[in-house]
Structure 1
Amino acid sequence: MERLANIEDLELGLLTNNRRYEFPQFAYKTASLRNLVLWNCRLNPFGNVNWSSLISLSIVYMGLTNGVMEKVLSGCPNLEYLELEKFSGIHRLEIRFVKLRELIMRDYKNENHDLWLELLAPYIQKLQILGLCSEIRIINVASLVIAVLCFDFYFEDEEQNLEKKFRFFKELLRSVAHVENLNLGSWCIKCLSILELTGWEFPPSSRKFLELGVEFEQLDFPGICCFLQSSLDLETLVIDWYDVESGVHIPKKVLQLA
């Protein structure tokens, strides 16, 4: 790849996990790019990044650093969509651009469990946290309207860190209590049930729309009931039911409550 003149859409990466493609320095100055997907690459810009036309960026299978991520984001002032999947290395993700409205984080792995990934994104409107994730702390998502939490916190020693998992999850729930549209996955429902059985009170919320991904096992029901009780302004409830025993995904049930 010697030049990227006037290219608007680019997907680039290697098929092997043993090597990472070194993203070329001249490509950081490709101002014509609008949609960029990078997987299994190595990002290391020597100077400033100029992706001034970029509106969509997906980064997959990458080890990052805070400095590289800051350089990349500073060079994308018109970015609207950011997806980070199977990534590691960063402990602070700060997004101050008004135009960036949607962020997806899937399978974040942190080797140092004494550090959290802190998210500051005051202007994003939709946030998805998916898959197996290490510790994530939401500092500021003041404009958030839609939150999709379909994940499980990942720790090497599950039993010793069970209490730590619950602490992170409670903090995460408080951080998105203001959103109008909330989607919770099956692990989150089970976690809610355990917290409810220990006497924890869910923070009240003004959410209008709630989607629950449930397996309808015995442990699911306490969390579902108590979470509904904290959703006093709820207008629409969607149940996405997966039957574990039969392996059947039941069509979603939509209930209009107002």
Structure 2
Amino acid sequence: MKKQKVTEEEAPQGISKLPNLHLVQILSLLPTKDAFTTCLVSPTWRRLPTLIDSFNFTCSTDREREDFSFIQNAVAHSLSSKIIKFKLDLTNLSLPNCSFRPEYETVISGCFSFAVEREVENVLLWSQYSNGCTLPESLCTCSSLITLDVKHCGFNNAVISWNSLKSIKLRHLMLTDDEIVKLLSDCPLLETMELYSYTDFHRLEINSLKLKTLKLKDYVRCDGNGDDLEILSPYIQHLEISGEDLKCRLVDVSSVVNAKLIYNFACIKGIPSTYVEDCCRDYHQVVYTLVQDNLQKLCYATDLTIGTWFTQVMCTLQFKGSPISEFNCKYLTLMLHMTTFNMYGALLRASPHVETINIELEYTLLDDFLIYNFCCNSELLDLAKEYNMDLLSGFQALSFTTSRRLRSSSPQMCAGKIMSKRALKRLPNFQNFCY
């Protein structure tokens, strides 16, 4: 059956048969500038863009005056009594003198005052670091706000009161311990908190029964050879931590069922004036002990994801015969930056309850540089020993009560190359799958 061609004249008439309510819902999904362009379709469409309940604005350097003028006009002509989402993305806007013009600040402030008056529920405000954007005062006490996503936007000691807020994402912000405590107390219904490119605070204590998800992504080191971060959150269920040179201590995460640890911590040789080989080994022992403690705190998680550094440390501990808490996780994911991985035995010995192992191998030339220029001699010796450990070395004393699946994102890690027939005979219940 041949498809019938729809002419440009017929298309608007066809879609125009939809109820206005549905048309407004469709237009609300578009970038606001595109939504307002549809008023040219026909006279009957002229009013529809003024009824949209979601706004999606972007500004760029080459069109800054036109963009801000359009934003001001679109808000001024809005007839919607309720705003579901208001998005203002200024990341492509580079301003001279690293500051907003007074008229632009007036437009931004007016936009969010309008959104707050219309009981906005979801807000996204992204800015460039150099622009020095500040969270609009009207937004700081918005009682209807449910989700908030801000980037390079300071609070400047504002009075915060978000009694309905359930999800917050803070990107590229410096927050002290006291500011974190105050923020949590001002959001009594918060369920999810995500911090991106975070820095400056050292203790995160969350005692709320509501907050279940905590994501700390891409920790940024300010100075020194890494910072300490303590996490005391007995009621969170989903935990994710990533970043460079982060000495993270899990004090109490007893309710976590899903954990993702892909952070790393560099050797003390990163401080040239204090680097001595003997001190280095002592330093590694401190870090290894910290990893052991963290693993013990997560022993009841059922879904665990660990990165390259964490995996190497864990396998080193196994190789040295150091005790590691037995995992109760059923799903184990390894996110590795390396070309090959031969340490399955060490991992399986520590995780007898695992039913599915996902291995994600990602390798770039930068990985060689990072490993061999930032690892000290102690680390390189340990890694060399680990790489010589074959699959069977960890299987000798293993007994399984559950079948296992091995999934890999790497085509090189097919079942035939991962396990020999001899290994399979030793483990009749071990099932291999490659995807």
In structure 1, the residue matched to 2:142 is 30
Amino acid at match of 1:233: H
Pairs within 5 Å for 1:52-63: 52-63=163-174
Distance 1:46 1:244 in 2: 44
**Are the equivalent residues in 1 in contact too, given 2:235–2:255 (CA < 8 A)?**
yes
The DSSP-based 3-state class of the residue aligned with 2:244 is strand
In structure 2, the residue matched to 1:181 is 303
Choose which of 156, 161, 181 in structure 2 pairs with 1:70.
Answer: 181
CA RMSD of aligned residues (A): 3.1
Higher helix share: 2
1:217 is displaced (CA, Å) by: 5.0
Residue by residue over 1:59-112, the C-alpha shift from the partner in whole angstroms, topping out at 9 and shown as x without a partner, is: 111111112111111111221211111111111111122221111111223546
The DSSP-based 3-state class of the residue aligned with 2:318 is helix
The DSSP-based 3-state class of the residue aligned with 2:157 is coil
Amino acid at match of 1:231: S
**Are the equivalent residues in 1 in contact too, given 2:226–2:246 (CA < 8 A)?**
no
**Are the equivalent residues in 2 in contact too, given 1:240–1:253 (CA < 8 A)?**
no
Distance 1:166 1:19 in 2: 42
Cα distance change of structure 1 residues 24 and 156 upon mapping to structure 2, 3 Å threshold: farther
Choose which of 189, 208, 229 in structure 2 pairs with 1:97.
Answer: 208
In structure 1, the residue matched to 2:345 is 225
Distance 2:139 2:267 in 1: 37
**Are the equivalent residues in 1 in contact too, given 2:246–2:263 (CA < 8 A)?**
no
**Are the equivalent residues in 2 in contact too, given 1:243–1:250 (CA < 8 A)?**
no
Higher strand share: 1
Unaligned runs of 5+ in 2: 1-108, 368-407, 416-429
**Structure 1 residue 11 corresponds to structure 2 residue 124:** yes
**Are the equivalent residues in 2 in contact too, given 1:150–1:186 (CA < 8 A)?**
yes
- Of all paired residues, the percent bearing the same amino acid is 26
The DSSP-based 3-state class of the residue aligned with 2:256 is coil
Distance 2:245 2:252 in 1: 19
Amino acid at match of 1:134: L
**Are the equivalent residues in 2 in contact too, given 1:193–1:221 (CA < 8 A)?**
no
Choose which of 80, 88, 91 in structure 1 pairs with 2:191.
Answer: 80
Distance 1:27 1:233 in 2: 48
Distance 2:195 2:206 in 1: 13
**Are the equivalent residues in 1 in contact too, given 2:167–2:191 (CA < 8 A)?**
yes
TM-score (norm 2): 0.52
In structure 2, the residue matched to 1:199 is 321
The DSSP-based 3-state class of the residue aligned with 1:106 is strand
Unaligned runs of 5+ in 1: none
The DSSP-based 3-state class of the residue aligned with 2:317 is helix
1:36 is displaced (CA, Å) by: 0.6
Amino acid at match of 1:221: N
**Are the equivalent residues in 1 in contact too, given 2:227–2:245 (CA < 8 A)?**
no
Aligned length: 252
Distance 1:197 1:155 in 2: 19
TM-score (norm 1): 0.83
**Are the equivalent residues in 1 in contact too, given 2:226–2:266 (CA < 8 A)?**
no
**Are the equivalent residues in 2 in contact too, given 1:32–1:53 (CA < 8 A)?**
yes
Choose which of 226, 236, 239 in structure 2 pairs with 1:124.
Answer: 236
**Are the equivalent residues in 2 in contact too, given 1:120–1:139 (CA < 8 A)?**
yes
Distance 1:216 1:114 in 2: 23
1:206 is displaced (CA, Å) by: 1.7
